[in-house]
A and B are shown apart, each in its own frame.
Chain A
Amino acid sequence: MSVDAATVRRIAHLARIAVTEAEVPHLQGELNTMLAFVEQLSEVNIDGVEPMTSVTPMEMKKRQDVVNDGEIPDDIVRNAPETQNHFFLVPKVVE
Chain B
Amino acid sequence: MTVSVKPGKLIKGQTGDWEVVIGMEVHAQVTSKSKLFSGASTEFGGEPNSHVSLVDAAMPGMLPVINEECVKQAVRTGLGLNAKINLRSVFDRKNYFYADSPQGYQISQYKSPVVGEGEIVVELDGGRTATIGIERLHLEQDAGKLLHDQSPTMSYVDLNRCGVALMEIVSKPDIRDAEQAKAYVTKLRSILRYLGTCDGDMEKGSLRADVNVSVRKPGGPLGTRCEIKNMNSINFIGQAIEYEARRQIEIIEDGGTIDQETRLFDPNKGETRSMRSKEEAHDYRYFPDPDLLPLEFTQSYVDELKAKLPELPDQKKARFIESLGLSPYDAGVLVAERESAVFYETVLAGLADKARDGKLAANWVINELFGRLNKEGHGIGDSPVSAAQLAAIVGLIGEGTISGKIAKDLFEIVWTEGGDPRELVEARGMKQVTDLGAIEKVVDDIIAANPDKVAQAKAKPQLAGWFVGQVMKQSGGKANPQAVNDLLKAKLGI
Instruction: Name A87's contact: one of B57, B156, B283 (CB within 8 Å).
Output: B156
Shortest distance from the beta carbon of B124 to any chain A beta carbon, whole Å:
37
B400 touches A (CB below 8 Å)? no
A63 and B159 form a contact (CB under 8 A): no
In the complex, whether A1 has a CB less than 8 A from a CB of chain B is no
Which of the segments B194-202, B263-271, B293-301 contacts the partner chain? Answer: B293-301
Determine the chain B residues whose CB is within 8 A of the CB of A76 once the complex forms.
Answer: 49, 52, 54, 57, 159
Q: Which residues of B contact A90 (CB under 8 A)?
A: 99, 154-155, 157
A47 in the interface, Cβ–Cβ < 8 Å?
no
Interface residues contributed by chain B, number (CB under 8 Å): 51
**Cα of A54 to Cα of B296 in the assembled complex, Å:** 14
A70 B53 Cβ-Cβ under 8 A: yes
Residues of the B chain whose Cβ atoms lie less than 8 Å from the Cβ of A53: 288, 293-294
Judge if A42 is at the interface, Cβ distance under 8 Å: no
Question: B residues within 8 A CB of A88?
Answer: 49, 99, 156-157, 159
CB-defined contacts of B283 to chain A, threshold 8 Å: 10, 14
Q: In the assembly, what is the distance between CA of A72 and CA of B41, in Å?
A: 12
Q: Does A59 contact B (CB under 8 A)?
A: yes
CA distance A69 to B54 in the complex (A): 9
The interface-forming segment of B144-152, B249-257, B332-340, B417-425 is: B144-152
Q: Does A46 contact B (CB under 8 A)?
A: no
* Interface check B47, CB cutoff 8 A: yes
Q: Which of B104-158 contact A (CB under 8 A)?
A: 146-148, 150-158
Query: In the complex, what residue of chain B is closest to A62 when comparing beta carbons?
Result: B68
A53-84 interface (Cβ within 8 A of B): 53-54, 58-73, 75-77, 82, 84
In this complex, the member of A54, A67, A91, A93 whose beta carbon has the largest number of chain B beta carbons within 10 angstroms is A67
Chain A residues with CB below 8 A from B159, complex form: 76, 88
* Contact yes or no, A91 B154, CB < 8 A: yes
User: How distant is the Cα of A60 from the Cα of B51 in the complex, in angstroms?
Assistant: 25
- The closest CB in chain A to the CB of B68 belongs to A62
- How far is B40's CA from A60's CA once the two chains are assembled, in angstroms? 20
Q: Taking A14-B95, A71-B50, A85-B48 as contacts, is the C-beta distance between A66 and B294 under 8 angstroms?
A: no
- At the interface, yes or no: B97 with Cβ under 8 Å from chain A? yes
User: Given A75-B54, A76-B54, A90-B157, are A67 and B66 neighbors across the interface (CB < 8 Å)?
Assistant: no
B51, B53, B147, B153: which contacts A91 (Cβ < 8 A)? Answer: B153
Give residues of chain B (158-209) contacting chain A, Cβ–Cβ below 8 Å: 158-159
Q: Please indicate the chain A residues that have their CB under 8 angstroms from the CB of B65 in the complex.
A: 61-63
Does A22 make an interface contact (CB < 8 A)? no
**Secondary structure dominating the interface of B:** loop
Residue among A62, A77, A84 facing the most chain B CB atoms (10 A cut-off): A62
A5 at the interface (CB under 8 A from B): no
Interchain CA distance A41-B121 in the complex, whole Å: 49
- Chain B residues with CB under 8 Å of A26's CB are none
Q: When chains A and B are docked, how far (Å) is the Cα of A82 from the Cα of B157?
A: 11
Expressed in whole angstroms, the Cα–Cα distance for A67 and B32 within the complex equals 10
- Residue B329, interface by CB 8 Å: no
| Bound CA–CA A61/B295 (angstroms) | 9
Q: How far is the CA of A90 from the CA of B146 in the complex (A)?
A: 10
B39 contacts the other chain (Cβ, under 8 Å)?
yes
Q: Tell me whether B55 is interfacial, beta carbon within 8 Å.
A: yes
Shortest distance in angstroms between A24's beta carbon and chain B's nearest beta carbon? 17
The yes or no answer to B71 lying at the interface (CB within 8 A) is yes
Instruction: Say whether, besides A70-B39, A93-B146, A14 and B285 are in contact (CB < 8 Å).
Output: yes
Instruction: Give Cα A35 to B99, complex, Å.
Output: 31
Cβ of B156: which chain A residues have Cβ within 8 Å of it? 84, 87-89
**In the complex, A73 Cα to B52 Cα: how many Å?**
7
From known contacts A71-B50, A90-B154, infer whether A60 and B97 are also in contact, taking CB-CB under 8 Å: no
A65 to chain B: closest residue by CB: B69
B97 touches A94 (CB 8 A): no
- A89-B39 in contact (CB<8A): no
A15 touching B97 in the complex, CB below 8 Å, given contacts A65-B69, A73-B47, A89-B151: yes
Q: Which residues of A contact B97 (CB under 8 A)?
A: 14-16
A93 touches B40 (CB 8 A): no
Report how far A68 CA is from B250 CA in the complex, Å.
55
What is the minimal beta-carbon distance from A7 to any residue of chain B, in angstroms? 11
Separation in Å of the B330 CB from the closest CB of chain A?
38
A92 to B155, CA, bound (A): 5
Query: Which of A15, A60, A66, A77 meets B292, CB within 8 Å?
Result: A60
Which chain A residue shows the least CB distance to B284? Answer: A14
B38 at the interface (CB under 8 A from A): yes
Contact partner, B296, options A16, A60, A70, Cβ 8 Å: A60
B70 close to A (CB within 8 Å)? yes
Find residues 55-90 in chain B having any chain A CB closer than 8 Å to their own CB.
55-57, 65-71
- What are 30 residue pairs bridging A and B, where the CB atoms are less than 8 Å apart in the complex? A14-B283, A16-B97, A53-B293, A59-B293, A62-B67, A63-B66, A63-B68, A66-B39, A67-B33, A67-B34, A69-B53, A70-B41, A72-B52, A72-B53, A73-B48, A73-B49, A73-B50, A76-B49, A86-B47, A86-B49, A87-B49, A87-B156, A87-B157, A89-B154, A89-B155, A90-B157, A92-B152, A92-B153, A93-B98, A94-B148
Given A60-B292, A87-B157, A88-B49, 11 more pairs with CB closer than 8 A = A53-B294, A61-B65, A63-B65, A63-B68, A69-B34, A69-B55, A70-B38, A73-B47, A88-B156, A89-B156, A90-B154
Top 5 A-B pairs, shortest CB-CB distance: A70-B40, A65-B69, A69-B39, A60-B293, A69-B53
